[in-house]
Amino acid sequence: MHHASIVTSGITFFLLKMAATLCGKLLHKQGWLPVIQSVRHGSKAVTRHRKPVHILKQKLLAVTQYVPPTQVVPKGAYPSERQEVKEESSFVLLLKRELKKLFQDYKMVAVVQNCNSNAEDMRTLKHRLHRHGITVKFFPNQVMHSFLHDSVYSNMAPLFIGPTVLFVSKEPKAKEMLTSLRSSPQMTLLGACIDDTLLSAQGVVSYSKLPSVNVVQGELVSGLTMMTAHTASMLQRHPAHLSALLQQYVKQQSSEEAPKAEEAT
């Protein structure tokens, strides 16, 4: 009996060992990991180091590195060429028609920048300009750019940057406008369109120093009258004056020929 139990236990151990071996092979083939794994603790050694680059290669990489060109015009200074075409509202079309009529009826359209002017200062400036027949108009810059883009006044578009207002008058009154702006330092003149001519701020100052049309017309009429009177007087005394000149010429010729004859003898 004791011998039989020993044999039975040996067979059982052999069967268990075979089962464990088969299970281990099957689990390993299917990609399963064992339940117990060895974990390495402690610091990990660095096995990869960056190789040193030769000095000549470093210089070559520095010389051949791409350097982007500098932009001459700052980014955003001009509107992008690709713009979505949007349908304008009825209010914008109404403002554009008003601007077209304004440029047709008024001979002076000045662009002035409003540098933080309050309501009281603007009211005083309006009253001061109204005495000279100059009116203040307000239009959004977007509407102004849209109108000037397809008009003959397209060169005025760069003037409309920031808060701007228009000073308009049916007759060119640059001198009166500059006189009114002297008492409003927060208003800066940028340029103007006078008699369909675009002028800078300095050009407007030079234009204001010119004499008025009435003075120029008076000077022209007086000059023409003086020339006409001088011509009439010349025509009236022409025969007597011509004969006197001829007699004097004969006397001069005779006086010059006498010394020559004496020298010849």
CATH number, residue 188: 3.30.70.1730
Q: Does residue 7 sit within a domain?
A: no
Residue 98: predicted pLDDT: 92
Q: Does residue 44 sit within a domain?
A: no
Side by side, which strands form the sheet with 187-194? 135-137, 164-169, 108-114, 187-194, 197-200
Q: Does residue 202 sit within a domain?
A: yes
The domain tally of the chain equals: 1
Please report where in the chains the tokens 């603007």 appear, as a residue: 122
Q: Does residue 153 sit within a domain?
A: yes
Helix (H) or strand (E) holding 101: helix 90-105
Comparing C-alpha atoms, which of 169, 165, 213, 153 is closest to residue 189?
165
Q: Does residue 150 sit within a domain?
A: yes
Residue 25: predicted pLDDT: 55
Residue 2: predicted pLDDT: 47
Residue 112: predicted pLDDT: 93
Q: Does residue 247 sit within a domain?
A: no
**Residue 133: Cβ within 10 Å count:** 13
Boundaries of domain holding 163:
90-208
Comparing C-alpha atoms, which of 178, 172, 180 is closest to residue 211?
172
Residue 105 has pLDDT above 80, yes or no: yes
Q: Does residue 191 sit within a domain?
A: yes
Q: Does residue 56 sit within a domain?
A: no
Predicted TM-score (pTM) of the model is 0.52
Residue 139: predicted pLDDT: 92
What is the pLDDT averaged over residues 6-34? 59
